[in-house]
Amino acid sequence: MMKNAVLLFLSEIHLSKGKYLSSTSYHAAPFADIKCIQTNEAAVKYLLQKLAGQQETLDYIFAFSTQKTKETISYVDDRTGQQLAAVQRDIFAGEVAKVCPELAKKIIYVDYDENCSAESIVLYVLKMVDEIRAILGTEADSWRIHTDLTGGMRHAAVLMLSVLHMLKYSGIEIGQAIYANYFREDTSRNRIEDVSSIHRMFELVSSTDSCINFASMREVEKYFAAVPEGEISKRLRDLLISMQEFSDAVKICRTGRFELSLKKLAANLQAFKNYQGKSAQEQLFAQVLETVERDYGDIIKAEPSRIDIIRWCVKKGFLQQAMTLFTEWMPGELVKRKLYYPSPVYDFEIRETCQKSDLGYKLFENVFVYDFCSTLEKLREKKENNKPNGMTKNSLNMVRMYFQNNQTGPLPEYIDKKLWKSFMQEIKYVAAYQEQIRAGRLYIGDFISDHECLAMVLDGRKKGDGKRKEWQLYDYLMDYKLNAQTIYNYLTVVPGELLRDLLEKLSVFPEEPKPEQVPVIEVPTIPYYAYDYPNLIMSTGSFNWDDRKESICRMLTEGIVCTDTSDIENLLYVMEILSWLRKQRNEINHAYNGVDVASSEDVEHYIMLALKKIEQLN
């Protein structure tokens, strides 16, 4: 069972007509009216009744007590007419004892000097936090602390909210905020109000700070879990889900989900902003979202570049994520921007080499940029063995590799480009053809004659399906749901015999094939020498850039790899930083003993420098 405490700022007692200690009534729906002498007393009695409905009670009262509440006052009890004298805070304890004797023994006071300087207020906050922590001990997560915002000076509420925020980080649950609203001109309107929504507003701002600073959605989710179901629209739910997905992508650095989650976040953010039927809670969230939008501005625009995303990670201090994204994405950027890419003459041979030497990077571009090294002699030998003008095993593998690389890369020269384009269009619309057959708008015979190559592939896929291999093609199309991706996946592993038959129909062979002439590559007039380009980073420990730099310069000279930039020095700087960061990332991830890793300042500096140089090289 949860234990409960209330934090309050003890009010001064004001005597009626200067001498009577009189009581005042407060409406306390859904409970009966509450009579009390002091406004704090009303909030305590209300909480006791509310908690009783949950089979709980108040276990402690923590009160800031000013000098005046420690003074003795003389008064006439309007109920008995007796002339009495008592300390103000003892009167409060006595009234509490009438409804809960045990609670009256558990009132902890922290003295507060109302004449203190603004700077000293912090000390009172800390003192109250220490008192509460001392009582709660190691069981803080089993406590809930409520607040009475009624009494005290003008900034008393701020004082108590500061205490609550500090306690929150001890694991204490923040409960309700109560306010005894006193109407001096018309006491019949006096009522006790639950103003927890005001405190939750601070919670929302605080949780949004966590989202901005740490990409954490935990506090935002916790906040909206307490919001009534009817006050959360589908648009807000969609936005919260997309914020959580992006948060997950950042925290566990899911490289493949970054861009997709950002696209969903941008779309759902815009949909929520445009929504006109926002509840009060949603309108509040829309206000704090403006801060999120400003902070995320560079990456939630229509089409953020990968450079934008990495730069944002660095600015936010997410250096581990920035290193991962930089080392995973930038090799592809170099190839895409034609800053470092395979010679068109040896493109297939280079891709084939990288695929066979895949060291776990999976992407061709990563293996190519980080590790690929070969000679003209080796590549010419490979090219001669491939013989693209004949339907050899290597040329069949070239087609399979085309589909493995998401329908990109070289194809055998004997394939007719127009026929191939038509075939690819048929694959694209395979689901539509299937629906037309199911609806009776397309006869299976017409489909086979009009789309012969696609029908061959589908029939081959059916025959490889153990459950359906004996079926007719029509039954297969009626039962099995297809899409373009299922066909692409099949073509990565299509049997050689079927692939040969397929390529026969998609190819144009010369009547008398001539032996292939391996093209002679013209060596650039200005060779690239490694020693002409100084290193940016000193080679230390296990990082040695010199050997890799020499290989790159040789391959550029021989035309094995190409670049469209004339600024070779800065290109080599970028590639050096890439290799260095990959090494740093490996050493950090595997926690090698005795290896000095770079400082966060160095990592940040070199990432930002490389991003700037990549943009300038273009």
Of the two residues 468 and 41, the one the predictor is more confident about is 41
Residue 513 has pLDDT above 50, yes or no: no
pLDDT digits (tens, 9 = 90+) for 39-65: 899 999 999 999 998 899 999 999 999
3-class DSSP assignment, residue 82 = coil
pLDDT of residue 388: 46
* Mean pLDDT score, 564-591: 88
Q: Tell me the C-alpha distance between 117 and 120, whole Å.
A: 5
Beta strands 20-21; 173-181: pairing state = unpaired
Other beta carbons within 10 Å of 617? 21
Q: How confident is the model at residue 539 (pLDDT cuts 50, 70, 90)?
A: low
Residue 523 token pair: 């060596």
Each residue of 305-338: pLDDT tens digit? 899 999 999 998 889 999 999 999 999 999 999 9
Q: What is the pLDDT of residue 161?
A: 80
Q: How confident is the model at residue 523 (pLDDT cuts 50, 70, 90)?
A: very low
Q: Residue 520: is its pLDDT beyond 80?
A: no
CA angle, corner 56, sides to 50 and 60, nearest 5?
95
Which of 201, 200, 279 is closest to 234 using CA atoms?
279
Quick check: bond before 304 cis, omega within 30? no
Would you give the end-to-end CA distance of the chain in angstroms? 65
CA pair distance 4, 58, nearest whole angstrom = 5
Cβ-proximal residues to 34 (8 Å cutoff; 6+ apart), any chain? 25, 26, 28, 42, 45, 46, 192
Contact between 52 and 44 under an 8 Å Cβ cutoff? The reply is no
What mean pLDDT comes out for the span 522-539?
69
Structure tokens at 176: 């309700």
DSSP β-bridge partners for residue 7: 62, 147
What average pLDDT score do residues 516-525 get? 51
Task: Tell me the two tokens of residue 459.
Answer: 């029939």
Q: Please tell me the distance from the alpha carbon of residue 560 to that of residue 519, in angstroms, as a whole number.
A: 12
- CA dihedral for 73, 77, 78, 83, sign (positive or negative): negative
What count of Cα atoms within 13 Å lies in the side-chain half-sphere of residue 197? Answer: 9
| CB-count exposure of residue 607 (10 Å: 0-12, 13-18, 19+) | buried
Mean pLDDT score, 393-404: 82
pLDDT confidence tier of residue 508, bands split at 50, 70 and 90? low
In this prediction, residue 1 carries a pLDDT of 76
Identify the weakest region by mean pLDDT among 153-167, 168-182, 369-383. Answer: 153-167
Amino acid residing at 536: L
Kindly tell me if the per-residue pLDDT of 591 is higher than 60.
no
With beta carbons less than 8 A apart as the criterion, state whether 558 and 523 touch.
yes
Is the Cα torsion angle 401, 402, 404, 408 positive or negative in sign? positive
Average pLDDT along the chain: 84
- pLDDT at residue 359 tops 70: no
The pair of structure tokens assigned to 7 is: 């934090």
Three-state secondary structure readout of 483-551: CHHHHHHHHCCCCHHHHHHHHHHCECCCCCCCCCCCCCCCCCCCCCCHHHCCCCCCCCCCCCCHHHHHH
Both structure tokens of 147: 């607040």
DSSP structural state of residue 599? P
The Cα-based distances of 569 to 395, 523, 551, 564, 574 in angstroms read 38, 19, 15, 13, 9
- Looking at residue 592, its pLDDT comes to 54
pLDDT band at 105 (very low <50, low <70, confident <90, very high): very high
What single DSSP character describes residue 31? E
Tokens of 383: 């090219």
pLDDT surpasses 80 at 405: yes
The share of the chain scoring above pLDDT 90, in percent, equals 33
- When pLDDT is averaged across residues 476-482 and rounded to a whole number, the result is 79
Query: Cβ contacts of residue 135 below 8 Å, gap of 6+?
Result: 5, 60, 108
Q: Output the pLDDT for position 441.
A: 87
| Cα(12)–Cα(70) distance, integer angstroms | 9
State the average pLDDT over residues 147-169. Answer: 78
> Which tens digits make up the pLDDT trace of 194-251?
887 766 766 676 666 666 565 567 777 777 777 788 888 999 999 988 888 888 888 8
617: pLDDT strictly greater than 70: yes
Strand 143-148 versus strand 24-28 pairing type:
unpaired
Q: 310 CB contacts (<8 Å, ≥6 apart)? A: 322, 325, 326, 329, 607, 611
| Domain 3-194 annotated CATH 2.40.50 | no
Helix 306-315 × helix 600-617 angle, to 10°: 150
The residue among 615, 531, 551, 544 whose CA lies nearest residue 579 is: 544
* pTM tops 0.95: no
pLDDT of res. 402: 87
Is pLDDT at 594 greater than 70 in this prediction? no
- Sign of the C-alpha dihedral computed for residues 564, 335, 519 and 377 taken in this order: positive
With contact defined as beta carbons under 8 Å apart, do 179 and 193 qualify?
A: yes
- The confidence score (pLDDT) of residue 208 equals 65
Determine which of 301-310, 501-510, 589-598 has the lowest per-residue pLDDT on average.
589-598
Using left for φ > 0, alpha for ψ between -120 and 50, and beta otherwise, residue 474 falls in alpha
Weakest mean pLDDT among 148-152, 272-276, 432-436: 148-152
